[in-house]
Amino acid sequence: MAIRTILHYPDPRLREPAKPIAVVDDEIRRLAEDMAETMYAAPGVGLAAPQIGVDKRIFIVDVAGEDEPSDLRVFINPEIVEAQGEQVWREGCLSFPDIHEDVQRAAVVRVRALDEHGKPFELTADELLAVAIQHENDHLDGRLMIDHLGALKRRIIHRKMLKRQKEGGHKRAPAET
């Protein structure tokens, strides 16, 4: 396992849609392990492959609390098949260090995907798990947290991230998705 470098906005690779995974093999399982190690080290609760510069449709999520055992979930070629209701959640993103904004998303989602063994599964999620699934799934489509914000907030965050990039900022952020 290895900790990978997390891309920060405005890296253009974050905007590229990821490609489907044809075969779930040892290479994909190693990628998932590297992603988990990277996410936990950051620390965060979710990470999509495009965030580490890999254009594959895979993300991981672990929304277990600090005092709870790990609940790592791997989603390969995920598809959100149903979304209901609305909720607003204060989100962060490992690709946007130190940025936290209220984002409106579906309250409940049903997702279909393959696990790390290539077995299909379906999951209905709410609360933080639903938010994390939607957030990470967006990354696979080249969509970012700021795309859910108004124009003014997007511009402010864009400027902050450009300034951070120019200054070479690599501060650690609190747990983010």
Report helix, strand or coil for 117. Answer: coil
Q: Any catalytic annotation for residue 33?
A: no
CB 158 within 8 A of CB 146: yes
- Catalytic one of 91, 116, 136, 176: 136
Q: What is the CA radius of gyration of the chain?
A: 15
Q: What type of residue sits at position 152?
A: L
CB 52 within 8 A of CB 7: yes
Compute φ and ψ for 74, nearest 5 degrees.
-110, 130
Q: Which two tokens stand for residue 141?
A: 């489509």
Catalytic residues, by residue number, are 136
